[in-house]
Chain A
Amino acid sequence: MKKTLLTLLALAMLLHTSCITEDVATPTRAGNFMTLWKIIDEHYCFFDYKQQAYGLDWDEVRQRYEPAISEGMTNVQLFEVLSDMTAELRDGHVNLTAAHNVARYGEWFDNYPMNFSDSLERKYLGRASEYRAASGLRYRILSDNVGYLRVPSFDVEFGDGNLQEMVRYLGGCNALIVDVRNNGGGMLSSAEKLTTIFVNQTTTVGYIQHKTGPGHNDFSAPRKIEVTPFDGLRWQKPVFVLTNRRTYSAANSFVMYMSQLPAVTIVGDRTGGGAGMPFSSELPNGWGIRFSACPMLNAKGEHTEFGIEPHVHVDISSHDYSRSIDTIIETARNMAHDN
């Protein structure tokens, strides 16, 4: 009888330990708070860097915000507390999504000059019939024989034909301006694809890591991001990449790739950063959470999470604004003539 009991006990233990499950809190206020804190704690990729940059301590953040949670609070109140907690990460890639609002950190652009204007963009691109548009790329030849390429987003995949036609059309220009201001990102593959027309050999443009475990310092070794030359016409003349604080995420990566190429000059304001590829997860109450998961480093192995300083820092002056002149484009044009 004792043997039978022991066998049954062993079987029960085996069955119990055999179930692979995740400990997730119930959808209470405290449960949602703890789930959010834990998701970030285990998956966020810039703790060490931001601890050094401004003293971020995620355990201290929990201790500071946990007393603000009570089961009697409303959804909106809970959202406010959780939003404030995620804002401690100072990361535009961290978003808490609920039915009534999306929490987003905007200090990386709100505190700085816009350095871009739709009206000025329209002035330089001209009317719809005056510029070409293909796969989200808009381009034309300016009056001084400088090519102007406006890339508002990397959400679109650029085809080989799109790039081939663009380089052929702008090929006679003395220089090319690539305007990625207000480009909030999109697909890294698109940023890489656009870079391919500016390299003549396989080039290491940066590094990427990923987390290998839930610890704050569990990271893989940095691995190369290489760009191979475009199979067709490639741009061989000076390039000026225009940036502002809203050049973010995949656009920040594009600037990171381009900034080390010899014929490229970055002109404008510091980029917004956003150098962590974001992942998504969710809380028991259904709210979504997006966070930086895979850090990307520049070719020197440095973080660009807080942006890339341009080679030539220029703001659009209020005087130029009033005259409908884009100081940043004009600076690039002047530099193109000087080359």
Chain B
Amino acid sequence: MTVNKGEFAVCCENITKTYPPDIQALKNINLKISPHQIFGIIGPDGAGKTTLFRILTTLILADEGKATVLGYDVVNEYQEIRKYVGYMPGRFSLYQDLTVEENLKFFASVFGTTVEENYDLIKNIYRQIEPFKNRRAGQLSGGMKQKLALSCALIHKPKLLILDEPTTGVDPVSRREFWEMLQNLKNEGITILVSTAYMDEAGLCDTIALILNGEFLKIDTPKNIVQQFEPEIFSVQSNQRSKLLTDLRRLPEVSSCYAFGDSIHVTVENKKISEEELQNFLLKNGHEQIEIAKIEPTVEDCFMELSKQQEENN
């Protein structure tokens, strides 16, 4: 199947990548990303996120399969892709010995443009680090480095922006601000492909692909993923949290149970046990101040359930 240019921002068919000796980074991946959205690839370290991005940015070749980015083939038309894609790798990859301004000018000139030409696009981000424009990039704090890297990835006005774990190691307040920047860029018409290991960022994406062990567990909107979750989930609290976990795990009716913030999420399939039965069981085991509520699953609940299914299938 060939894809019309422009129909999808990214299209992957049966992409496979193995690193020697036998590490299967990507196993037969299929992916279609429509333009003008924030698309999140969500999964832990080692799931295959960076490998996928490096194939799409034409930095490495897949062993098998076909991929197009903005309609261009990643192998035969890699030069076109590099013109229109902005890439912010996970590791800081700017020139540490150049100043903030020099880095930005350098990236602009590499792409045959000037800082002035596309200043509008980056001004809200770059303005925050402009007071330090004469400082060497290596001397910047983590948050400032991130803003400079984003400015450099945007300076040629890409159609597609690919960001590899931009918020890893970033505190919750700065993470929220970063996502606001991404939302603004989307409104400027840029398609955004972003990876993260933080499950709570899933809700900020239009579409998400959950990835684990080189395979997608699910690709859909966060809302649909949550709605398709079949088991019931109860949020349970009591006065003895550690014992609560071990007691609940003894119940054969409970398919899984894990700590979630200040409570424990209990997954029950086919309504094997009701709220009242759970309550009685906990009372019998000496728990007090018991609170049980049936809740909507989070994306993290879905990820854990789907990863369990993946393990069973393999």
Q: Do A and B come from one complex?
A: no
A binding-site residues for B, Cβ under 8 Å: none
